[in-house]
Chains A and B, each alone.
Chain A
Amino acid sequence: MGTPRDPNRMTNSNTELCQIPVRVELFGLPTLITGSRMVVLDLPTSAVLRDAITALGTKCPELLGSVIREDGKTLMEGYSLSQNGMRFLEDVEEPLEFVKGESLLLLSNMAGG
């Protein structure tokens, strides 16, 4: 189920010491709330999804309560994060294993129209 992670991604036993800039692209309401279409988070290479959400809430506190829950750890109902537009993320403990140049997309998971 879901999009499998790339088995060729390199891991490093010292990854927790390294940070990597990750672009977070914003769509819809988050764009209007923050006034931005993209923010950059510095995440440890060992980051899990919860870390990314927490970092986003810290960088953009105006998203708390409307897009990110007040505790800063999970997204509100109706929002998802997608890694590079390819796979949607759910498990907040899932390691992201980002490499340079990759993105997270914060978007509504409700379509219709």
Chain B
Amino acid sequence: MYGYHGRALIIDLTSQKTSCVSLEPQVLRHFLGGIGLGTYLLYRFCPPGVQPLDPANPLIFVGSPLVGTRLTTSSKFAIITKSPLTGFIGDSLSSSFMATELKGLGYDALVLIGQCKRPTLLFLEGSNVHFLNASHLLGLSTLETEVAVKEELGDPRIRVACIGPAGERLIRYASLSNDGGRHAGRTGTGAVMGSKNLKALAVRGRERVHIFDPIRLNEIGNALTQKSLGPATSKYRVLGTMSNVAVFNRLGTLPTRNFQQSTFDGAENVRGEFLFENHLVKNAHCANCTIGCEKVLATKDDGQEVEGRMEYETLFSLGPLLGVADPNTIIRAARKCDALGLDTISTGVTIAWAMECVERGLLNPISTDGIDLRFGNGQAILKCIQLIADRQGIGALLAEGTRRASQILGHGSEAWAMQVKGLEMPGYEPRSLKTMALGLAVSTRGACHNRSSAYEADFSPQVNRLKADDSRGKIAMQSEDLSAVLDSLIWCKFLRKAFDNFYAESTEVYNRVTGWPMTVEELKQAGERINTLKKIFNIREGWTRGDDTLPTRVLEEELSDGVAAGVRLTSDELNMMIASYYRARGWTEEGLVPEAKLRELQLLSLVEAYNSPETVGMI
């Protein structure tokens, strides 16, 4: 087999036994790899209705057919589980050398089930599996853990994926970190790893990747590399996504002070151009990446100098969203989140919710442990981040995420908990980006800007971003399906504009790697299949029509500032767009998947085999 190994390794952490399941070519062709194959494996191995922090919830690491080739941006892997934040599918991507080492083990996926009896470092070396004591690693930051593990195992080529203190304490939006600064964020995969008493996974692969047509693939790769260094990626290569701040501020799409405003009066000193000129230390590259989108910034104040990695979502969520106009605070907060292993978006949005609670008098200095948790107070934010990771004081409430925290606090605070399906919202103001609003509402992951790139339509002449209409359903669907293929092959999304014809070129790459004839239509259908299976998983785990929505604030308040002042998004408008999305997908009016669609996508037998009895017939 080329490009794949055709098997997955199952490790039972409780019994310390391993087994192997074969992955048939049809499964690999249908789900490709990455997020797609991970979704398939989650559907198979996750017991219906299991609690996310239960040992039976699998934590799945998945490679892709492109890993191990020299194609730019191909060193990526996916991590899939049932999310402790949403209760639905939790899928993340991470990058760099870990991807190559995982594939070098000789498996397409690693499925971890059960729970270690003690804090454990799981070391996979070729075909050997070692369960090592990790008690001495508890409390270490993500980077400290990686360094300690590599020193202990004595091999600099070992790659480490680990959790920080946040994952150890099961913070619901804890992330998983690898390769000195890459993070699998969103949905709390780090908390699942912590629930398994697994502090770190160390990997040293030995097997080479076999490619069907290496000569032709090399030609394609060289051409793609050249395009990746051109204007199609210049934004990412030079300024990175930090440059979104000034643009979004001007367009009235920059969520500010917990989405109370859509422009930020302090944007001048936190816009990407300013940070580039005054704080940039260097670019950061993943392995095999010619783009280098991530920027390492350094503080420039009187305090101890700190370096932190920066991109738009971190910048927005720890900056304008919290009313912070000091870049030094944002850099320190970002560094702190990374070290503790916390997703920066969820951290920022949850703190923003708390700040508004303080503003409204629902929380006071006593309930916030004496911290003046008001918008703009940088020191308070830094203290709060630590309290969250420690689950201490106000941090114990905030560690649960905005949905649970607002349900616990009550007093109407759910209205300004900015989340969808429990996942905190990214930095796109949906009231002034109506296609993105739809994308956020229907995404299986929750409020996600990665599984849907629906904002692209809003930043184009294709639509009027300020008005809703029923053309958005098809647009959102196509955007999701494209993202699913990107996330399953796996290509970095920042490479997408370098393709002249993404599907045609990706099909050729797939064919050259695997030797399996794949057509453009088959590849497109794979994207649809993957998104449909994600939806079916969610339905099995309790999704209802009411989960496809947006926060109360978005649906009841009009924008107050900027060029989009006065614009609002009504429930009727959102429901109209959601209905158009269900129609585009061929789903029922209630958002369920009919049997005919399952047959069309060749999902029926899989669904029947692994569905819970009470949902059979309801899909």
Binding site for B on A (CB under 8 A): 1-4, 25, 27-29, 31-32, 37, 66-67, 76-78, 80, 82, 84-91, 105, 107-113
Bitwise, B240-251 to A at CB < 8 A (1) or not (0) is 111110110011
Our count of residue pairs bridging A and B at CB distance below 8 angstroms stands at 109
Bitwise, B421-441 to A at CB < 8 A (1) or not (0) is 000000110000000000000
Binding site for A on B (CB under 8 A): 231-232, 234-236, 238-244, 246-247, 250-252, 272-273, 276, 311-313, 427-428, 449-450, 453, 455-456, 459-467, 471, 493-494, 497, 563
Q: Is the CB of B462 within 8 A of A84?
A: no
A28 to B246, CA, bound (A): 8
Q: Is the CB of A3 within 8 A of B466?
A: yes
Residue among B238, B243, B428, B456 facing the most chain A CB atoms (10 A cut-off): B243
A9 to B459, CA, bound (A): 24
When distances are taken between beta carbons in the complex, the residues of chain A under 8 Å from B239 are: 28-29, 32
DSSP class of B's interface residues: helix, strand, loop or mixed?
A: helix
Min CB distance B52 to A, Å, is 27
A29 to B240, CA, bound (A): 10
Chain A's closest residue to B461 (CB) is A90
Min CB distance A67 to B, Å, is 8
Q: Is the CB of B313 within 8 A of A3?
A: no
A110 to B476, CA, bound (A): 16
A111 to B272, CA, bound (A): 13
Q: A89-B461, A111-B459 are in contact. List 13 more A-B contacts (CB 8 A).
A: A3-B464, A4-B464, A27-B243, A27-B250, A27-B273, A29-B239, A32-B276, A67-B231, A105-B247, A111-B312, A111-B455, A112-B450, A113-B241
A107 with B232, Cβ < 8 A, contacts A84-B563, A112-B453 known: no
Min CB distance B297 to A, Å, is 15
A37 to B273, CA, bound (A): 10
Q: Is the CB of B252 within 8 A of A32?
A: no
When distances are taken between beta carbons in the complex, the residues of chain B under 8 Å from A29 are: 234-235, 238-239, 243
Chain B's closest residue to A103 (CB) is B250
A112 with B493, Cβ < 8 A, contacts A78-B234, A86-B466, A86-B563 known: yes
Closest 6 CB pairs of A and B: A113-B312, A113-B241, A90-B461, A28-B243, A108-B235, A3-B464
A108 with B247, Cβ < 8 A, contacts A32-B239, A88-B461 known: yes
A112 to B426, CA, bound (A): 10
Q: Is the CB of B235 within 8 A of A78?
A: yes
Q: Is the CB of A87 within 8 A of B235?
A: no
Q: Is the CB of B272 within 8 A of A28?
A: yes
Q: Is the CB of A2 within 8 A of B234?
A: no
When distances are taken between beta carbons in the complex, the residues of chain B under 8 Å from A2 are: 461-464
Min CB distance B487 to A, Å, is 13
DSSP class of A's interface residues: helix, strand, loop or mixed?
A: loop
When distances are taken between beta carbons in the complex, the residues of chain B under 8 Å from A31 are: 273
When distances are taken between beta carbons in the complex, the residues of chain A under 8 Å from B494 are: 110, 112
When distances are taken between beta carbons in the complex, the residues of chain B under 8 Å from A82 are: 251
When distances are taken between beta carbons in the complex, the residues of chain B under 8 Å from A32 are: 238-239, 273, 276
A108 to B505, CA, bound (A): 24
A29 to B244, CA, bound (A): 11
When distances are taken between beta carbons in the complex, the residues of chain A under 8 Å from B252 are: 85
A70 to B303, CA, bound (A): 47
A66 with B231, Cβ < 8 A, contacts A85-B563, A108-B243, A112-B453 known: yes
When distances are taken between beta carbons in the complex, the residues of chain B under 8 Å from A85 are: 250-252, 563
Which of B428, B459, B497 is A80 in contact with, Cβ under 8 Å?
A: B459
When distances are taken between beta carbons in the complex, the residues of chain B under 8 Å from A37 are: 273
Q: Is the CB of B241 within 8 A of A77?
A: no
Q: Is the CB of A77 within 8 A of B232?
A: yes
Which of B246, B250, B456, B463 is A111 in contact with, Cβ under 8 Å?
A: B456
When distances are taken between beta carbons in the complex, the residues of chain A under 8 Å from B450 are: 112
Q: Is the CB of B449 within 8 A of A112?
A: yes
When distances are taken between beta carbons in the complex, the residues of chain B under 8 Å from A86 are: 466, 563
Min CB distance B263 to A, Å, is 11
When distances are taken between beta carbons in the complex, the residues of chain B under 8 Å from A111 are: 241, 244, 312, 428, 455-456, 459
Q: List 19 A-B contacts (CB under 8 A).
A: A1-B461, A27-B247, A28-B246, A29-B238, A31-B273, A32-B238, A32-B239, A66-B231, A77-B232, A80-B459, A85-B252, A87-B464, A89-B461, A111-B428, A112-B450, A112-B453, A113-B240, A113-B241, A113-B313
Residue among A25, A31, A76, A105 facing the most chain B CB atoms (10 A cut-off): A31
A110 to B250, CA, bound (A): 15
A80 to B440, CA, bound (A): 24
Q: Is the CB of B464 within 8 A of A107?
A: no
A110 with B235, Cβ < 8 A, contacts A78-B497, A89-B461 known: yes
Q: Is the CB of B460 within 8 A of A88?
A: yes
Residue among A31, A91, A107, A113 facing the most chain B CB atoms (10 A cut-off): A113
When distances are taken between beta carbons in the complex, the residues of chain A under 8 Å from B462 are: 1-2
When distances are taken between beta carbons in the complex, the residues of chain A under 8 Å from B463 are: 1-2
A4 to B493, CA, bound (A): 31
A109 with B238, Cβ < 8 A, contacts A27-B250, A77-B497 known: no
Which of A27, A78, A88, A90 is B231 in contact with, Cβ under 8 Å?
A: A78
Min CB distance A112 to B, Å, is 6
A82 to B276, CA, bound (A): 24
A86 to B497, CA, bound (A): 24
Min CB distance A41 to B, Å, is 18
Q: Is the CB of B243 within 8 A of A80?
A: no
Q: Is the CB of A28 within 8 A of B235?
A: yes
A31 to B246, CA, bound (A): 11
Q: Is the CB of A28 within 8 A of B247?
A: yes
A108 to B317, CA, bound (A): 21
When distances are taken between beta carbons in the complex, the residues of chain B under 8 Å from A28 are: 235, 239, 243, 246-247, 272-273
When distances are taken between beta carbons in the complex, the residues of chain B under 8 Å from A105 are: 247, 250-251
A113 with B427, Cβ < 8 A, contacts A28-B239, A28-B246, A77-B231 known: yes
Chain B's closest residue to A66 (CB) is B231
A32 to B247, CA, bound (A): 14
Q: Is the CB of A80 within 8 A of B235?
A: no
Q: Is the CB of A76 within 8 A of B231?
A: yes
When distances are taken between beta carbons in the complex, the residues of chain B under 8 Å from A67 are: 231
